[in-house]
């Protein structure tokens, strides 16, 4: 019988945040690729695009004119998925047919007036301003009595469904806990009840001892490929200090967070020397006016690229019908990311 090797033999790994398993099949990374190649845009974007509805001073599709903003700019989404109006529902419910009205607010955050400037090419000070904007919006939206969760996220790149290349993110604030957040909260709460400690605090302390999956760290944050990562180059940013949300960051932590966000996004761009697509999002305490000592601030990055700038990982077949699966081991992914420069390839 062979001795187990996590870079050679199929195995399953447990995700304690979602209480789910993932199948890892590292031997499959050796197979030849004959699947779809994604097109890579060779166009060089201008600093200002008169046709872009997110550029400073331009009119959006609803006729509203953007401010001539100089750093970040926030407005309510013109095509919101959620509406603020309260509605009454008197429809009879049953075990098999349940629904309820959902209220919320959707906002767009332009990161910069420069149409061609993504996070990895921004100065750290500019990323700090974005973080301060996230903080302001979290406070403002979370203070509303019908908002119980504020989801901050970014979809970068057309392959991730982003319809406009202008650097921007979104905030969806709503009355219910979204499904993934609710799963995470349950598991964080169960762990805290059992150990009286933060699950992610214990996790990153063990990861920092092992050094197997750590991409980079500074005084206040660590970025790593989580043990249970699903996407080929998935990473997780976790605060070293246990706190629940962005309002509890010190100024030193805001700077450190900006630095670590720049480091990982630069490494992503450097990986295939392309503007690397991803979906990223912050998970933090709900805004339901309850105590949440179980929550520990963290940020996910889910990039889809697999072998090159044109080869994308698809979640299909087994992944949709059974459970998540990946071919390259997290340990191989982190070795590749860790070895990449922290300076952008265009610099």
Beta-carbon contacts of 264 under 8 Å, excluding residues fewer than 6 positions away, are: 215, 216, 223, 235, 237, 301, 337
Residues in the chain: 347
Q: Are strands 324-326 and 214-217 parallel, antiparallel or unpaired?
A: unpaired
168 is catalytic: yes
CA distance 295 to 192: 9
Half-sphere exposure of 26 (CA within 13 A, CB side): 16
Q: What does the CA dihedral 86, 88, 89, 90 come to, rounded to 10 degrees?
A: 170
Beta-carbon contacts of 321 under 8 Å, excluding residues fewer than 6 positions away, are: none
For residue 223, list its beta bridge partners. 216, 237
Using only the alpha carbons of the chain, give its radius of gyration: 21
Q: Which of 115, 168, 220, 283 is catalytic?
A: 168
Q: What does the CA dihedral 222, 226, 231, 235 come to, rounded to 10 degrees?
A: 0
Nearest to residue 82, comparing CAs of 55, 54, 101, 62? 101
**Annotated active-site positions, please?**
168
């Amino acid at each position: 019988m062979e001795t187990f090797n996590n870079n050679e033999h199929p195995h399953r790994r447990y995700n304690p945040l979602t209480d789910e398993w993932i199948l890892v099949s590292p031997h499959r990374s050796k197979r030849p690729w004959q699947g779809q190649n994604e097109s890579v845009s060779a166009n060089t974007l201008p600093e200002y695009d008169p046709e872009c509805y997110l550029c400073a001073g331009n009119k959006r599709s609803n006729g509203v004119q953007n401010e001539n903003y100089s750093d970040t700019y926030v407005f309510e989404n013109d095509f919101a998925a959620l509406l603020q109006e309260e509605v009454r529902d008197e429809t009879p419910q049953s075990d098999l047919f349940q629904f309820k009205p959902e209220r919320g607010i959707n906002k767009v955050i332009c990161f910069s007036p420069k149409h061609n400037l993504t996070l990895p090419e921004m100065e750290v000070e500019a990323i700090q301003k974005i973080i301060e904007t996230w903080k302001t919006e979290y406070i403002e939206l979370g203070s509303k009595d019908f908002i119980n969760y504020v989801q901050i996220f970014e979809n970068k790149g057309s392959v991730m469904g982003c319809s406009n290349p202008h650097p921007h993110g979104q905030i969806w604030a709503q009355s219910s806990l979204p499904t993934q957040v609710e799963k995470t909260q349950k598991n964080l709460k169960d762990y805290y009840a059992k150990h009286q400690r933060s699950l992610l605090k214990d996790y990153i302390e063990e990861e920092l001892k092992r050094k197997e999956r750590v991409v980079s760290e500074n005084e206040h944050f660590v970025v790593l490929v989580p043990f249970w990562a699903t996407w080929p180059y998935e990473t997780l940013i976790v605060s070293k200090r246990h706190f629940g949300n962005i309002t509890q960051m010190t100024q030193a932590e805001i700077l450190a967070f900006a630095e670590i966000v720049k480091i990982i996004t630069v490494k992503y761009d450097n990986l295939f020397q392309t503007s690397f697509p991803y979906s990223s999002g912050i998970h933090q305490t709900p805004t339901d006016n309850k105590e949440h000592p179980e929550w520990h601030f963290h940020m996910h990055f889910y990039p889809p690229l697999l072998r090159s700038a044109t080869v994308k990982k698809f979640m299909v077949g087994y992944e949709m019908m059974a459970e998540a699966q990946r071919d390259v081991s997290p340990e191989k992914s982190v070795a590749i990311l860790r070895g990449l420069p922290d300076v952008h390839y265009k610099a």
